[in-house]
Structures are given as structure tokens and as C-alpha cells.
Amino acid sequence: MQIFGAYALLLAFVLALYGLAAGIMGLVTHRAQLQASALRASLMIFPAVAGATVSLLGLIFHNDFSVAYVAEHSNRALPFYYKFAVLWSGQEGSLLFWSLVLSGYSFVALLTSGRRHPQLRPLVAIILSSIQAFFLLLNNFVASPFTTLPVATPADGSGLNPLLQYSQMDIHPPILYLGYIGFSIPFAFALAALIRRMPGDRWIQVTRKWSMVAWGFLTVGIVLGGYWAYKVLGWGGYWAWDPVENAAFLPWLTGTAFLHSVMMQEKRGMLKIWNVGLIFGTFFLTIFGTFLTRSGVISSVHAFAQSSIGNYFVVFLLLVAAVCLFVFFRNRDALKGDNQLESTLSRESGFLFNNFVLLVTCFAILWGTVFPVLSEAIQGEKITVGRLFFDRINVPLFLFLMFLTGVGPLLAWRRTSANALRRNFLWPALVGVAVSGTLIGLGMRAPYPLVSFGLGGFVLTTIAMEFARGTRVVASHGRSLPSALVHLTLRNTRRYGGYIIHVGIILMAIGITGQAFNKDVEAPMPYGATMHIGPYTLVSQSYTQDDNPNYSTEAEIVQVQRGGRVVATMYPSRRFYKASNQAQSMVAIRSRPLQDLYLVYAGDDPNTHQPILHAYLNPLVMWIWIGTLVVVAGILVALLPGRKPDAGKPRAAPAEAAVAEEVEVAHPA
């Protein structure tokens, strides 16, 4: 099985090289047969890599500790469902998984693009083969998962990292990889279109859908990473501006900017240079983020150990940058826009402001992330940038983005009259002010949370008005309100799916704002002791121990009282993993819409030998997870094809015209 996997990986690498070389020769010589042969080779990379992946999984499940990767990352007592996480828990396996996802994406993209994009497909195949060749080079000759141990086979392995023995880690890395790697497809189409000097609606249509899919996976992957940090790391939070967290967030920001500005190219033929630059930059940042994770140049709980593999990524990044810059400057005259910005009060200007803020945010986070590396290279001393820097820079920027999210639907394409703007702003602004005023009346004084909650009310009202306006128009032509709402949404899935995504983002922002009011208490909690935090009284009732082949557990049983009434019993604990000789806290969380009660059993005080309990009260965290589900729903709606007017229903036409007039023109005065 080990030999089969190694040869399957080598075959995949040879296929990638052949697809690259034969594809280039076929284009240069205009030989269709050679191009077809190169395409078939590119398609066959996926089954070859899949075979290697299945082989490695077989070695893991059969506990073949003669293979170094299996011995280092698995053990016999590891539960069945965590065996899958072994695949991406180490450098070698995660690179193999990366190649699997990339080859799978490429397989689907090349199969489905033949009819719609016959001119682009040969170039797209070459570009994707070159990317796959790089990762397969690493898989085969730098970090092979099939290397055997040079000494006798151990009786058992070292075990999976305790931080990864959690259910989220069976889905977080694959989903994050699907987001990261998914941007390779729009990058390949954009680069191919620019080489062909045909950047227009053709490549935009396919890249928009692929970008939406990748952006959706990346969004869910980032949030799942935060959820894992919240449930596993035991520090009471979910986001710490960790360098690897930032590395995933950077392409999310540029991908978000692309998904917004691409609408301007479709609607008005504008921002063609901007869009090509954004998709190039997004792909570059996905590779750069991978470099940060694997090179060891930054310290992070998420990063792999220091390795020379980072040098290969530096060379690849330089090659990507050189190719993109060369093609761009050679063919930039093909990117001229069809229209110019006509008014500051227009939807176009709203998109421009939105993109500007997103890119400023991206640059600020990138600078803060790489600054320690730059300071060490220049001064010989690593100067770290803390959370305070990121919060001070990004909180005002995020608040401005929230404002723009609410303003966008109020603006018309080309130009919005002052009267229409005042009329559309009135109710959302009143709701936003009312929300902030109510919170001030309840005693809230923190300025940023007041602005955030007020903007949340403003944006949600704006979106609700958009849905209500269109629903009323459709309902006036003979449909019930629920039917009209569904019909309106399915008639323009991109627009209303986007609104649903915005609702989810605002709910997440409200949940994030709650951290301004976090509380925590840490104290010894021997049997019978009590602790007070917020409205809760915590009573230590007893301690319990448990043991299984994988780990032993020590847990504290805590009774939770509120207003003299018992509302819950919680079990914060610590596990000691036998194979890796490591301890890990297991957090107990009582989650409610208004607040989370979060308990961490921190072990024994070294002086008094009394158990320590750390309790946190975290408001509104649940809304982050709820908002993510709403975002996913919006993505699914946005990916649906828009429903065309029913040809057999003559009453549909005036309704559709009315909706278009009211929704698209935004009540011009």
C-alpha cells in the first residue's frame, strides 16, 4: 500500500509536467491533438492523487507504523473518526490533501468548461497543471507522506496532537482548504482570459460562481476555526489576530472585494483592471498564507514546525508574481473600461468605497502580520504586534464597512437624486439612532459598541425595506405575501441572496461586538466553594476521574445557580493524552442567545494544590454562529440560477417591470 501510494503520487507529478509541457507545445504549434492529450493528462491527475490519498488513509487505519508519517501522527487507541484528521494533521499529509482538493477542483472545472469556454480551456489546463506540479513536487521530493522509518517499526505511534482531537477538526481544515484552493480556478480563468486578451463577461461569469463557492467555504472555514479555538483552547475567546488566522482572513477580504466589484463590470463594464488585480491578489494571498503556515517564520498555535519547505514557497510566489505582472503589463490595454463614474451618489461609488476600505483593512492586517518577520530581518530583533494594534486599526474600518453595507441598497446605478436619498435614508437612520439611544438609556456608554449596534439596526432595516418593497409590488399582482417573497428572491437570486449574506454578516458583527462586555473570574474552587460571575453563582459539588486507552480525564462538577434556582450542571475537565504525553483542557459552555457561561478547569494551584476554575461570561457569542448559518443560506440562494418570467402568465410581466423599476432604480426623484 505504501509503494502504491508513492508511485501514484509520482504518476500524478509526471502527468502534471506532461500536461504543462504538452499544453504549451500544443498552443504554440496549434496542434489540436497535442492539446487534447495535455487536457486528458490534466484530468488524470485527480484519480492518481486520489489513489495516493486512499493509500495513506489505509496505512493510517491499519496502524502501519513503519511509515514515518503514521508513526508521528497516529496511534492504536486513537478513535476511528479522528483517524481522518491524521491525514491533514502533519506537513506531509496536509500537502497531499491540498493536492487532492486542487486536482479535484481542476477536474470539475476542466470538465464543465468545454462548451462555454473552449478558447480558454487549454490555457486554464496549463495554468492549473503548473500549480499542481508545484505541490506535487513537494509531495514527492520534499515532504513525502510515504517515507518509511529507517529503524525498527515501533509498537505504537506518537498519537494525534490533542488540540486536533475535537470534532471540528474533522471538518474545519477540509472546508478551509476548499476555500483557499478554490480561488485557484478563478485565478486560472482570469489569467487565461488576459493572455487571450478577452477579459469580459465570459470569464467573469465563470469566475464569479467559482469565487462565490470558494468564498463561502473560506467563510465557513474561518468561523469553524474560531469555533474550534473557542471550544478547545480554553482562553475564553475565538479570535486573537493570530498570524495564521490573519493569513486566512487576508484572501477573504480581497475575495469579498472582488465579489462586489465584479458586479460593476457586469452592469457597467467598469473596474476591469481592478477585478483582474483582485483575483490575482487573492490567489497570491492564498499561497502566501500557506507559506506563513508551513515555513516556521511566524509563531502560532496553528502553524507547522519550522521547515525548509518555506523556501520553495518563496520561489513559487516570486514566479506567480512575475507571470501575473508580465501578462498584465503586456495586455493591459485590453482592460479598458466601457464607462466612467458619473456621480458620487451612486451605487458604483458605494462599491468603490467598499473596495477601498476592504483593501486598506487587508493591508493593515498584512502589515501587522509580517512586521515581526521584517523587524527581525532588518534589526535582528523580532518585534511582535499585539491585539491592541489590530483592534485600533480595524474596528473603525469594520464599522465603516457596516455603514457602507447599509448605504449600498439605498443608491441607484449611475446617479441617485438627493430627494430619493433622503427618503430612503429616513427610516433606517431613525431605527439606528433609536437602537443606540435605547442602549444609552440602559446605561451603555462604550462608543464603539453603541455605533456598532446602531449600524446593525440601520443595515437590517435597509435590507428589510428592500425585501418589503419588492414583495409588496409582486403581491399587488395577485400573489400572497409569502409567495411574493419567495418569487421575488428567486427572480433575482444574486441580489437577494447577497442581502441575506449581508444579514448574516451583520448578525456576526453584533455577536463580535458583545466581546466588549466580556467578564472573567479565576479562583480556587475546592469542594463546596462558590464563585460569582454576572447573574450566576457557581458551586463546586465534586470531582470525578475517568480513564480509557486514549486518555485519562479529571473533571470538576459545577452547579450553576441563578436567582437561587439551579439552572444547569457543568463539567469542565482536563484530559491527559497517553500517547503524546500532553494535557488539554476541555471547556464547558452553557450557550444562550444573550450570553455564554464558559468554564475552564485550569488544574491545581502549585502552591495550595487546590483546583483552579476560570469562569468567563461572554455576551452575544451565539449570534456569530447563527450569522454564519444565515451567510451559508444566502450563498446557496445566490448560487441558484435566477428564475425567468413565466411565459404562460401574462400578469407576470407588469409585476416584473414594477419590481425592476422600484428595486433597481431605488426610487429616483
Q: What is the pLDDT of residue 387?
A: 87
Cα–Cα dist 581/200, whole Å: 57
pLDDT digits (tens, 9 = 90+) for 461-474: 999 998 998 999 98
User: pLDDT: is 669 or 31 the higher one?
Assistant: 31
Neighbours of 393 (CB within 10 A): 17
Whether the pLDDT of residue 657 is over 80: the answer is no
- Note the pTM of the prediction, 2 decimals: 0.92
pLDDT digits (tens, 9 = 90+) for 252-284: 999 999 998 888 877 777 778 888 999 999 999
Q: What is the pLDDT of residue 415?
A: 73
User: pLDDT: is 6 or 610 the higher one?
Assistant: 6
Residues 6+ apart with CB under 8 A from 15: 41, 42, 44, 45, 48
Q: What is the pLDDT of residue 662?
A: 46
Cα–Cα dist 521/506, whole Å: 30
Cα–Cα dist 276/190, whole Å: 6
Band of the pLDDT at 302, cuts 50, 70, 90?
low
Distances (CA, A) of 326 to 125, 193, 318, 322: 19, 14, 12, 6
Whether the pLDDT of residue 382 is over 90: the answer is no
Neighbours of 644 (CB within 10 A): 9
Q: What is the pLDDT of residue 20?
A: 96
Q: What is the mean pLDDT of residues 415-426?
A: 77
Whether the pLDDT of residue 656 is over 70: the answer is no
Candidate from 29-43, 200-214, 222-236, 339-353 with smallest mean pLDDT: 339-353
pLDDT digits (tens, 9 = 90+) for 207-244: 888 999 999 999 999 999 999 999 988 899 999 898 88
Whether the pLDDT of residue 604 is over 90: the answer is no
Q: What is the mean pLDDT of residues 146-164?
A: 88
Whether the pLDDT of residue 611 is over 90: the answer is no
Candidate from 136-140, 273-277, 596-600 with smallest mean pLDDT: 273-277
Q: What is the pLDDT of residue 299?
A: 62
Are 86 and 25 a contacting pair, CB within 8 Å?
Answer: no
